[in-house]
């Protein structure tokens, strides 16, 4: 492929964009202008949360190996780990997902978004919820609900922000046309997250469910944030970005829609698997484990379809968006395979409660979803800020840190979990011996975080320059070295 073709494919005027634009529809420039302040604001705050949560995550990783390091009450591992994870989940992934989702809905609907103040207020509330959650968790006002550690006040703000923001997206959503797969995934994700946050927190806060059912509801709600909001947003984003960049439409559209529904049914039934089997009714444990295994089918099928589209296209060589998105999609398949693997009863009995669980979660969120979100931001920002990324070297460095650093951290967590799981299954070994085996990989995890932090810092700097409209003087799309993306 020639450089010129690649430039055409990744510039803001792709052939598909042109074909999609109706004569009567508002221009892409007008659509982008209608979402610009809110979406750039969301990306800016998401980047701040990304850097902060990665820093806290790095500190937590160091503390695994050196528990006495910075030993203050607000920085104990017990508070730091949930604070870092939830802030990464809601602050970075959630905030960026709101921005990406809103822009793609505006573009696919071909409508100028009305009511920006509504969205802006929603975004402020959402970010306020993250701030309250982070401060409260570090301050010790956390809930002992796995994945829902932020206090209730934080979830009230997150839900209120999401409700306002979703209303804005709904006003933009064109319900009359035949929707793209991307729009279906994104609207479904917004709807599920709202329903889930509301129902789950209400059930727990009002003690409508008690005892172990509270943990089941927590697993159902927290799991929905990952599997029914962030993963669908990532899949929907990939469904939008890959055809746009590669220049080839998604093949097997009807089959992909069947996989869409299969994904939501399986993911919706898989969430209780996060609760230990002995605490669940037998049928529920079996259903959740089976659904966790079946998820592999729609995820692998959808990613295969996306990869086929990427390879069928004649554009996109050197596109940073494509490189990040494809890496993230590959991670989604690997994550779903590992989730299926760890759902097998005999495997679960060995690996449950080890760092293997956190490794799989990290692969899903810190690698897969995160890389797709980066890919989307690399694609969207030149269109929103009307300037091109300044440096391909910074993007390459970011990819190095984000992709390889995060993958290395995941690898260390998985290996540590496997080693500790095997040792803990031997009743003859003392717990101290178990931890000694598992901790052999902690240093690698800490080093990986340094790489991740450096990569994300490069992205933060680059994004700031972009927000200030400091980009390529020539206005040419910034490409990585052509042909090196696969």
Partner 1 sequence: MSHSGIIFPGIIACFAVSLAATVIIPNSQLGSLSPEIKEEDGRFVDAYPVADLSLAARGKEVYVSQGCQSCHTQVVRGNDTADVERGWGVRKTVPRDYLFENPPLVGAGRLGPDLANVGSTAWRNEPADDPYKPVKRDAAWQMLHLYHPTAVSKLSNMPSYSFLFQKHRIAGSGDKDALTNLPKTLLPEDGFEIVPSADVKALVAYLLSLDRSHSLKEAPAVAASAPAHK
Between residue 401 and residue 430, which ones bind partner 1 under the rule CB under 8 A? 420, 424-428, 430
CB of 476 to partner 1, least distance (A): 37
- 77-96 residues near partner 1, rule: CB under 8 A: 77-82
Residues near 132 by Cβ (< 8 Å), separated by ≥ 6?
150, 151, 153, 154, 157
**Vertex 212 angle, CA 208 and 218, to 5°:** 70
Closer of 98 and 280 to partner 1 (Cβ)? 280
- The residue range among 125-133, 199-207, 305-313, 396-404 that interacts with partner 1, by the rule CB under 8 A, is 199-207
Residues 339-398, interacting with partner 1 (CB under 8 A): 349, 352-355, 357-358
Candidate segments 71-79, 296-304, 328-336, 386-394, binder of partner 1 by CB under 8 A: 71-79
Contacts of 85 (CB under 8 A, 6+ apart): 53, 57
CB 455 within 8 A of CB 397: yes
- To partner 1, the closest distance from the beta carbon of 432 in angstroms equals 4
* Residue 256, CB-side half-sphere exposure with 13 Å CA sphere: 23
Angle between helices 320-343 and 355-362 (to 10 degrees): 150
Q: What share of the chain is helix, strand, coil (3-state, %, to 5)?
A: 80, 0, 20
439 touches partner 1 (CB under 8 A)? yes
| Closest CA relative to residue 165, chosen from 180, 182, 187 | 187
Report if residue 483 touches partner 1, rule: CB under 8 A: no
Please select the residue that binds partner 1; options are 63, 111, 366, 383, rule is CB under 8 A: 63
Smallest CA-to-CA distance from 300 within 330, 279, 324, 276 is with 330
CB of 424 to partner 1, least distance (A): 6
Which x/- pattern, by CB under 8 A, does the window 15-54 give for partner 1?
Answer: ----------------------------------------
Which of 28/63 has CB closer to partner 1?
63
Residue 23 CB, shortest distance to partner 1, in Å, is 23
- Cβ 434 to partner 1 shortest distance, Å: 8
Stretch touching partner 1 by CB under 8 A, among 26-34, 242-250, 261-269, 373-381 = 261-269
Nearer to partner 1, 275 or 402 (CB): 275
Residue 269, interface with partner 1 (CB under 8 A)? yes
Distance CA 467, CA 273 (A): 42
Contact 76, 60 (CB under 8 A): no
Which residue of 184, 303, 367, 387 would you call a contact of partner 1, by CB under 8 A? 184
Q: How far is CA 472 from the centre of its chain?
A: 29
- Choose between 114 and 144: whose C-beta lies nearer to partner 1: 144
Site mask for partner 1 (CB under 8 A), range 270-289, x = bound: -xx--xxxxxxx--x--xx-
481 touching partner 1, by CB under 8 A:
no
Least CB distance to partner 1 at residue 419 (A): 13
| Piece in contact with partner 1 (CB under 8 A), picked from 136-144, 156-164, 308-316, 329-337 | 136-144
282 exposure class (CB count in 10 Å sphere: 0-12, 13-18, 19+): exposed
The helix (run of H) or strand (run of E) holding residue 270 is helix 253-270
Nearer to partner 1, 215 or 478 (CB): 215
Q: How distant, in Å, are the alpha carbons of 6, 164, 219, 270, 468 from that of 119?
A: 35, 6, 29, 32, 22
- Span near partner 1 by CB under 8 A; candidates 17-25, 209-217, 457-465, 478-486: 209-217
- Which of 2, 71, 311, 440 binds partner 1 (CB under 8 A)? It is 71
The reply on whether position 99 binds partner 1 by CB under 8 A is: no
Scan residues 140-179 and list those touching partner 1 (CB under 8 A).
140-146, 175, 178-179
How far is residue 3 from each of residues 208, 244, 319, 425, 481, measured CA to CA in Å?
61, 17, 11, 56, 10
If you write DSSP's letter for every residue of 315-359 in order, what string do you get?
Answer: --TT-HHHHHHHHHHHHHHHHHHHHHHHHSHHHHHHHTTSHHHHH
Q: How far is the CB of 128 from partner 1 (least distance, A)?
A: 23
């Amino acid at each position: 492929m020639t450089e010129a073709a690649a430039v055409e494919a990744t510039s803001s005027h792709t052939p598909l964009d042109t074909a999609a634009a109706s004569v009567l529809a508002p221009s892409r420039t007008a659509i982008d202008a209608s979402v610009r302040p809110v979406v750039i604001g969301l990306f800016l705050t998401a980047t701040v949360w990304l850097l902060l949560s990665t820093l806290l995550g790095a500190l937590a990783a160091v503390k695994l190996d050196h528990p006495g390091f910075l030993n203050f009450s607000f920085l104990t591992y017990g508070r730091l780990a949930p604070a870092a994870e939830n802030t990464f989940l809601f602050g970075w992934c959630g905030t960026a997902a709101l921005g990406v989702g809103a822009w793609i809905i505006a573009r696919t609907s071909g409508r100028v978004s009305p009511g920006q103040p509504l969205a802006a207020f929603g975004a402020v509330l959402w970010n306020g919820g993250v701030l309250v959650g982070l401060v409260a968790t570090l301050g010790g006002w956390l809930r002992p609900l796995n994945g829902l550690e932020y206090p209730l006040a934080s979830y009230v703000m997150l839900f209120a922000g999401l409700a306002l923001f979703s209303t804005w997206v709904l006003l933009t959503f064109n319900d009359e046309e035949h929707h793209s797969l991307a729009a279906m995934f994104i609207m479904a994700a917004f709807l599920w997250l709202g329903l889930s946050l509301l129902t789950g927190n209400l059930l727990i806060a009002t003690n409508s469910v008690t005892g172990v059912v509270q943990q089941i509801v927590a697993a159902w709600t927290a799991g929905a944030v990952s599997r029914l909001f962030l993963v669908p947003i990532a899949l929907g984003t990939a469904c939008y970005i890959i055809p746009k960049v590669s220049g080839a439409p998604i093949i097997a559209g009807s089959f992909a829609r069947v996989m869409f529904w299969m994904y939501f049914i399986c993911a919706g039934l898989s969430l209780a698997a996060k609760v230990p089997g002995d605490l669940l009714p037998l049928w529920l444990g079996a259903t959740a484990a089976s659904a966790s295994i079946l998820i592999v089918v729609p995820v692998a099928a959808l990613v295969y379809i996306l990869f086929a589209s990427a390879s069928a296209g004649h554009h996109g060589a050197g596109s940073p968006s494509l490189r990040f998105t494809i890496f993230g999609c590959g991670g989604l398949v690997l994550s779903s395979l590992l989730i299926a693997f760890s759902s097998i009863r005999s495997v679960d009995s060995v690996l449950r409660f080890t760092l293997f669980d956190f490794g799989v979660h990290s692969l899903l969120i810190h690698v897969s979803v995160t890389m797709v979100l980066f890919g989307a931001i690399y694609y969207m920002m030149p269109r929103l800020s009307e300037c091109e990324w300044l440096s391909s070297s910074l993007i390459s460095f970011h990819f190095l840190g984000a992709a390889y650093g995060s993958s290395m951290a995941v690898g260390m967590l998985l290996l540590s979990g496997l080693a500790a799981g095997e040792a803990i299954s031997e009743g003859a070994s003392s717990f101290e011996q178990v931890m000694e085996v598992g901790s052999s990989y902690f240093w690698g995890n800490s080093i990986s975080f340094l790489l991740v932090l450096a990569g994300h810092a490069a992205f933060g700097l680059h994004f700031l320059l972009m927000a200030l409209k400091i980009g390529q003087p020539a206005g040419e799309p910034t490409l990585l070295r052509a042909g090196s993306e696969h």
